[in-house]
Structure 1
């Protein structure tokens, strides 16, 4: 029996795979296609597991895990949202992209 869908979350934070470490600072990736590349990696893994037709939902994504990131109140963020929703919500990529979070009121992350 296989699952009905896979739910993932994505944040543009680079991981140093050589040392298996997340950076000490919440540094955004300089790669403009990081979200697309991560989705392609997930799709590749699903295909390898024989689940290439599985519904994929991004239930949490944002430019930062911090609600106090200076980019949150910038024009850049609006273009980031539009670019990533339009380029990544097409058939066989993702079924849903849930932006996290529209308000600064809620955050689990502590700076």
Structure 2
């Protein structure tokens, strides 16, 4: 909760000195300034970004992530598909989970109905609802006492407090009765994560063109679609998120002719 706590402290100080601004902008933020930390390429970072964006919703007007592209940092020994660079897009143009966290936030609707530590629910006021949620796992004390460039992908699970899934239940009242289409977009360690797909390719450095195409096309959010029926004005949804998973739910009313 570092980001949330720091912003609250900053706002308290501004209030004490009677300094007021219309909007508070965060010009750069990340969990590290290192370009050699494999967490930057992982689902952990995607969940971390989404968590902080949800936490800061309504508290700041802008959050500029540091930084967008891996190509921003240029090192002679950066010869692998992923090198732990801090960008959201790899040198080969492949999007990381952190990119999709921002993409999910961008798809939220104008009116916020509710938010908590795991989710935010929005609507357009016209029978459509979009929900972003996550199962972020905190880094353990072991991470604090380890050099960032010493962490390997295979050891990454050892640096979080737990790996339990989380069940998130949504209960929306005053919803129009009828049929809805539910689209579920998600990224986790099994689906859509560039780092975990690359692991299955044995971390190969020199991939052929078709292998790179496979990696790029696989590193996208997976999608499922379901029909949901609402009665008595109540929409209920249950989602089970794997560790470090990010998810977007898009719920649209199905009009009948």
Aligning the two structures, in what range does the TM-score lie when normalised by the shorter sequence? 0.5 to 0.7
1:59 to 21, 24, 27: 27
Q: Which residue of 2 aligns with 1:41?
A: 9
CA–CA distance in structure 2, aligned partners of residues 81 and 73 of structure 1: 12
Higher strand share goes to which structure? 2
TM-score w.r.t. structure 2 length?
Answer: 0.27
Q: Which residue of 2 aligns with 1:97?
A: 63
DSSP-derived class of the 2:64 partner: strand
Deviations 1:55-84 (A, max 9, x none): 210010012111221210111000011010
DSSP-derived class of the 1:105 partner: helix
Mind listing any 5+ residue stretches in structure 2 that lack a counterpart? 74-148, 150-257
CA–CA distance in structure 1, aligned partners of residues 15 and 7 of structure 2: 12
In angstroms, what is the RMSD of aligned CA positions?
1.7
TM-score w.r.t. structure 1 length?
Answer: 0.60
Q: Structure 1: which 4+ aligned runs deviate by more than 6 Å? A: none
CA–CA distance in structure 2, aligned partners of residues 38 and 100 of structure 1: 17
Q: Which residue of 1 aligns with 2:38?
A: 70
DSSP-derived class of the 1:101 partner: coil
Q: Which residue of 1 aligns with 2:49?
A: 81
CA–CA distance in structure 2, aligned partners of residues 76 and 66 of structure 1: 16
The answer to which structure, 1 or 2, has the higher relative contact order (CA under 8 A, 6+ apart) is 1
DSSP-derived class of the 1:78 partner: helix
Deviation at 1:99, TM superposition (A): 0.9
